[in-house]
Amino acid sequence: MALRWGIAGAGMVSEDFTKALNFLPSSSHEVAAVASRNLSSAKDFAERFSIPVAYGSYMELARDPGVDVVYVGVIPPPHLEVISLMLRSGKAVLSEKPLCVNAKETKQVIQLAREKGVFLMEGIQGRSFPVYHALRQRLQEGEIGEIRQVIVNQGWPAYHLPKISEKSQGGGITLKYGTLSVQLVSFVMNGEKPITISAAGIVNQNGVDISTGATLVYSGERMATICMSATCRLPCDALIIGTKGTIKVNSPMWAPKSMETPSGIFEVPYPDHGQPTNFNGTQGFIYEAEEVRRCLQNGLLESPNVPWQESILIAEIMEEIRMQVGVTYDQD
CATH number, domain with residue 115: 3.40.50.720
Structural domain contains residue 297: no
Domains identified in the chain, total number: 2
User: Residues 319-330, buried b or exposed e (16+ Cβ, 10 A)?
Assistant: bbbbebbebebe
The pLDDT assigned to 127 comes to: 97
Across 295-318, average pLDDT: 98
Same domain for 67 and 183, yes or no, is no
Q: 274 pLDDT band (50/70/90 cuts)?
A: confident
Q: Output the pLDDT for position 273.
A: 84
Task: Please tell me the number of Cα atoms within 13 Å of 121 on its side-chain side.
Answer: 27
Is the same domain home to 109 and 97? yes
SS3 174: helix
pLDDT tens, residue by residue, 32-66: 999 999 999 999 999 999 999 999 999 999 999 99
Q: What does the pLDDT average to over 298-316? A: 98
Q: Residues 6 or more apart from 113 whose CB is under 8 A from it? A: 87, 93, 119, 120, 301, 302, 308
Quote the percentage of the chain above a pLDDT of 90.
98
Q: What is the torsional sign of CA 131, 136, 139, 140? A: negative
| Judgement on whether residues 143 and 89 belong to the same structural domain of the protein | no
Average pLDDT over residues 139-162: 96
Q: What is the DSSP string of 264-313?
A: EEEE-PPP--SS--SSTTGGGHHHHHHHHHHHHHTT-SSBTTB-HHHHHH
Domain assignment present for 268? no
Share of the chain above pLDDT 70, in %: 100
pLDDT band at 272 (very low <50, low <70, confident <90, very high): confident
Mean per-residue pLDDT of the chain: 97
25 burial via Cβ count (<10 Å: 0-12, 13-18, 19+):
exposed
The mean per-residue pLDDT over the stretch 135-163 comes to: 96
Query: What's the DSSP call for residue 89?
Result: T
Nearest CA to 24 out of 270, 286, 297, 252 is that of 286
Residues 81 and 215 in one domain: no
Mean pLDDT along residues 106-132: 98
Residue 218 in contact with residue 119, Cβ under 8 Å?
no
Mark whether 234 and 99 lie in a shared domain.
no
**Higher pLDDT residue, 1 or 47?**
47
Q: What is the pLDDT of residue 201?
A: 98
Of the residues 85, 101, 125, the one at which a domain ends: 125
Q: Answer whether residue 282 is part of any domain.
A: no
- Asked if 107 contacts 311 with a C-beta cutoff of 8 angstroms, the reply is no
Residue 89 CB neighbour total at 10 angstroms: 18
Angle at 112 between CA 111 and CA 116, to 5 degrees: 120
pLDDT band at 287 (very low <50, low <70, confident <90, very high): very high
Last residue in a domain, options 125, 149, 164: 125
At residue 315, the pLDDT reads 98
My answer on whether 153 and 112 are in the same domain is no
User: Does 187 share its domain with 119?
Assistant: no
> What is the C-alpha R_g of the chain?
19
Report pLDDT for 303: 98
User: Could you say which of 125, 157, 184 is where a domain stops?
Assistant: 125
Residue 238 β-bridge partners: 152, 249
Task: Note whether residue 274 is domain-resident.
Answer: no
Q: Which long-range contacts (CB under 8 A, 24 or more apart) does 100-104 make?
A: 100/76, 100/315, 100/331, 101/76, 101/77, 101/170, 101/175, 101/329, 101/331, 101/332, 102/315, 102/319, 102/329, 102/331, 102/332, 103/312, 103/315, 103/316, 103/319, 104/331, 104/332
Of residues 275 and 292, which shows the higher confidence score?
Answer: 292
Report if residue 142 sits inside a domain: yes
pLDDT above 90 for 298: yes
Judgement on whether residues 254 and 177 belong to the same structural domain of the protein: yes
Q: Do 253 and 131 fall into the same domain?
A: yes
* Residues, the chain: 332
Q: Which whole number is the average pLDDT over 89-95? A: 98
What separation, in Å, do the N-terminal and C-terminal C-alpha atoms of the chain show? 42
Please confirm whether the linkage preceding 235 is cis (ω < 30° from 0).
Answer: no
Say yes or no: 174 and 319 in one domain.
yes
User: Do residue 119 and residue 43 come from a single domain?
Assistant: yes
User: How far apart, in whole angstroms, are the C-alpha atoms of residue 127 and residue 241?
Assistant: 20
Per-residue pLDDT at 74 exceeds 90: yes
210 is a domain residue: yes
Q: Looking at the domain assignment, is residue 266 inside a domain?
A: no
**150 occurs within a structural domain:** yes
CATH number at residue 192: 3.30.360.10
Q: Supply the pLDDT for residue 8.
A: 98
> Is residue 142 located within the same domain as residue 248?
yes
Please give the model's pTM, rounded to 2 decimal places: 0.97
Question: What range defines the domain where residue 64 resides?
Answer: 3-125
